[in-house]
Structure 1
């Protein structure tokens, strides 16, 4: 009886020790993740300080976008504010084309790579893709944004593989186990994984930021994951770039052909996504 009590106490002590170690590891990894985030923000701020400035008129317009409260931060994607930003960036782009492209790219990677801190900026990736589509050549925008949309998940994958994974596993262990179980049912090899991730990217069921996190946390193989990411994100990228082109063509004098071509692309791709979504639902029903 005494031995059993001693064994029970020993097991409880061991469990507590394991929990303490896990808690310390989570805190340490979260600290590392925070430091990486702070460094990336610093890089973006330094770049902004070094790039050529806006015109006086653009500066005055942009000052109206500076948030004065938390409510202003949440409403940064307000239509009027986006329009002010768009007009200011258009005038800046005419003078500093490459500088603006690099700035938008850095902001896109920052948002995609650190969703734990930037969760309140949902949709920022879409807005940046639309802006690039509005500012630059159509084909170039599609190619560039699709590469950018694959590079950002790669950075997320690397960061979370080494530091963020423990944090996510600690808070969402049950959900990750459930997802992993479902994944193992459907995925037997890298080809299956490629198809599965591509379908996840194509359908609007899971946000891309969530897929980026889960991919790193359940340690999916890198090559099929990123190939599937590139192909799966491509239709969405084309839609968003087409939206940007449509906005730009409305602003310009010669709008007819380019505008209707962009709208046609958007409609066709949305129909394609709808078909894929229904096919996925049928597959789920059949597997059940």
Structure 2
């Protein structure tokens, strides 16, 4: 049966009538595979510049215990092989953001544990913005079928909000970045689909992630005191983030009321 065009909330998509069909074409899979291969080549090249040692501790952290083991082992390398550790950190963080791999919060905690507050925040903001931008452009190339397949309802909502707030879009995008209204992963992949200009996406990401980055990196300094991820964002931290989000979107709301 031929493909059918479906329009939801102003977003036009192409869906196949057969259920269970893989949403990516061969070309799109090849493009994503090429990006993955580029990251792998970079990591292998980095590995070859490190001293011969047992690197069995190197893995993506999935718990606070994993993170503490990684921190304990990397501390000895950070002072002697600072450039390699920094490059490796950036490659892993950007890779995780590009392909929507969960766990970047652990990487942000690690930045605080290894580099302190100011360097850690700068590192997290840089890598998170680079990773989000990489995800944005990859989604622009091949993300449309995945977004429609995974988040059709969220996409319809996001499309309507973006269309309604075009004149104050930067403030709205800042609000989304600061508050958990929509997942950051969704914002990264859906923004090019609903025609959010990259310069607005970039500015909102770069500025909007600073508060959460500061909270997470600061917690990473006292990593041993964290008993669970629930300790990371206390009531005061969450209230502060929401307050910043409300302030960022207020000019847009006032502008709409004045019309």
Q: TM-score range by the shorter chain?
A: 0.7 to 0.9
Q: Report the Cα offset of residue 220 of structure 1.
A: 0.6
Matched, 1:94 2:87: no
The 8 Å contact of residues 121 and 217 in structure 2, kept in 1 or not, is answered as: yes
Kindly provide the CA deviation profile for residues 184-211 of structure 1, in whole angstroms up to 9, marking residues without a partner as x.
22x132xx11000101111123221111
Secondary structure in 2 aligned to 1:77?
A: coil
Q: Is 2:113–2:222's contact at 8 Å kept on the other side of the alignment? A: yes
In 2, Cα distance between the equivalents of 1:81 and 1:25? 34
Which one of the candidate residues 29, 32, 41 is aligned to 1:31?
29
Higher Cα Rg, which structure: 1
Q: Can you give the 5+ residue segments of structure 2 that lack an aligned partner in the other structure?
A: 6-13, 226-230
Residues 68-87 of structure 1 mapped to structure 2, 5 A cutoff? 76-87=61-72
Secondary structure of the corresponding residue to residue 216 of structure 1: coil
More helix by share: 1
> What does 1:1-288 align with in structure 2 at a 5 Å threshold?
15=4, 26-53=24-51, 55=53, 59=54, 63=56, 76-115=61-100, 118=101, 122=102, 124-170=103-149, 172-185=151-164, 187-189=165-167, 192-247=168-223, 269-276=237-244
| TM-score of the pair, normalised by structure 2 | 0.75
User: What CA distance in whole angstroms lies between the structure 1 residues aligned with 2:44 and 2:143?
Assistant: 25
What are the Cα deviations for residues 111-137 of structure 1, in whole angstroms up to 9, with x where unaligned?
00012xx3xxx2x21111221222124
Contact 1:32 1:163 in 2 (8 A): no
When the two structures are superposed, what TM-score results if normalisation uses the length of structure 1? 0.68
Structure 1 distance, partners of 2:151, 2:223, is 40
Q: 1:108 to 1:214 in 2, by over 3 A?
A: same
In the TM superposition, what whole-angstrom CA distance separates every residue of 1:162-193 from its partner, at most 9, and x where no partner exists?
Answer: 122243235544542332123222x132xx11
Q: Distance in 1 between matches of 2:170 and 2:150?
A: 27
Q: How many residues align?
A: 235
Answer whether contact 1:235 1:269 (CA < 8 A) is retained. no
| Residues 202, 236 of structure 1: 8 Å contact kept | yes
CA distance in structure 2 between the aligned counterparts of 1:140 and 1:96, rounded to whole angstroms:
16
- Whole-angstrom distance in 2 between the partners of 1:85 and 1:24: 36
Change (3 A) 1:146 1:15: closer
The answer to which of 141-150 and 26-35 deviates more is 26-35
Residue 36 (structure 1) shift: 2.8
Displacement, 1:267? 7.8
Query: CA 1:79–1:172 in 2, change beyond 3 Å: closer, same or farther?
Result: closer
- Segments of 5+ residues of structure 1 without an aligned counterpart are 1-11, 67-72, 251-262
